[in-house]
Amino acid sequence: MQQDVNLLRIPGPTPVPPSVERAIAQPMIGHLGSETSELIQRIKPRLKKIFGTEEDILFIAGSGTAGLETAAVNVANSGDEVLVLVSGSFGERFAQICESLDLTTHRLNFEWGSFIDVEKVKQFMQENNNIKAVFMTQCETSTGIQNPIAEVSEAVHETSDALVVVDGVSCVGGVVTEMDEWGVDVLVTGSQKAMMLPPGLTFIGVSERAWDVIDANESRRFYFDLRKYRDNLAKDTTPFTPAVSLLFGLDQALNLIEDEGLENVYERHTLMMNMTRAAMRALNIPLLTEDVHAAPTVTAVKPESFSADELRRVVKENFNLSLAGGQQQLSGKIFRIGHMGYCSPADVLQIISLIEIGLRELGEDITLGQGVQAAQEVYLQRNK
């Protein structure tokens, strides 16, 4: 029998907790009425904590990419020079967005699977003093790396007046994020990853420095004009009809995060990453990334003795377990396990045990339980 529940272990969209689903199903309310304002009032202070900022977090109906485009069109104007740090397919997307807005786009490329080299950024910024903004990806979902945002941001600020713009789509809410402390000027995330919601909302934090640039920027924008969202949010409303149902869901997702405690949420993600990595090592399957800067939300695995896509096919057919494949230059070469948002160590043990069966189905000579055992040991060592 095909299991009817999709075991969704891709790095987004991620499973939605039942209580969040129920919240989303509440009857519709008028978006200009007091109920929506009260909802926004409840949400506002709590989102700040997740971003690690004192600034209000703006939300726009749209996917993560809408948030990235919003960031770019608000901080720069056609012809402005910007730098994009590319360590995978989402860094590449940021560069494409900048190019589509006619920004003069410089790219610094880093090997896919490795992370942004701070020294190279510093050197580039010293040699190019017209850069208006530097764009980078916090967790590069295509490779499972978490870039050293605080260090890169410091290097940018030391060498220039450029704004630091960060794509945190696949990690904010699941990993320690300190927008203010790190000197991040614009931070973007999406609803369908660590935030435990369906797709359709993007969240944007903006620093005071960035507001000065945004206010003075004459770039052409309408729906994506952040000034409209800021001015409306100050009055607990939105410039356009918000995704009301997703805001109901967000209210409840924030309850869940607060009940668990943000620190515990972060620790759970690190634990799930460590369990997953230990399991793959015990099964002798190479990981794409080294431990340093590995992402707590997604793990990329680069098998040598079997096809990543065949394994994905077998576990999908047998168990309805969805793992992600590789993107662009990593297509067919890796598989990726999403362990973020509504995901627990118990889920990780399930994923690993199903992967082990998949490996045997593919004829791999592994000992059943070896990966699970390694993950169990990591679990038992937690907090020690």
Ligand X SMILES: Cc1ncc(COP(=O)(O)O)c(C=O)c1O
Q: Interface residues with ligand X (CB under 6 A)?
A: 12, 63-65, 90, 137, 141, 167, 169-170, 190, 199
User: Which residues share a beta bridge with 99?
Assistant: none
Instruction: Give least dist CB 252 to ligand X, A.
Output: 21
64 vs 371 by CB, closer to ligand X? 64
14 vs 245 by CB, closer to ligand X? 14
122 vs 339 by CB, closer to ligand X? 339
Instruction: Give least dist CB 60 to ligand X, A.
Output: 12
57 vs 378 by CB, closer to ligand X? 57
Instruction: Give least dist CB 142 to ligand X, A.
Output: 8
Are 198 and 165 in contact by the 8 Å Cβ rule? The answer is: no
- For 189, phi then psi, to 5°, come to -140, 180
Residue 190: partners with Cβ closer than 8 Å, 6 or more residues away? 12, 63, 64, 67, 169, 170, 199, 201, 202, 203
Instruction: Give least dist CB 138 to ligand X, A.
Output: 7
Instruction: Give least dist CB 177 to ligand X, A.
Output: 13
63 vs 353 by CB, closer to ligand X? 63
DSSP-H helix ranges across the chain: 18-24, 34-51, 64-75, 89-100, 118-127, 149-159, 179-182, 208-216, 226-233, 244-260, 262-282, 308-319, 345-361, 370-380
Instruction: Give least dist CB 199 to ligand X, A.
Output: 6
12 vs 303 by CB, closer to ligand X? 12
Are 36 and 242 in contact by the 8 Å Cβ rule? The answer is: yes
Q: Is 314 left (phi over 0), alpha (psi -120 to 50) or beta?
A: alpha
CA distance 340 to 257: 13
Q: Are strands 335-338 and 145-146 parallel, antiparallel or unpaired?
A: unpaired
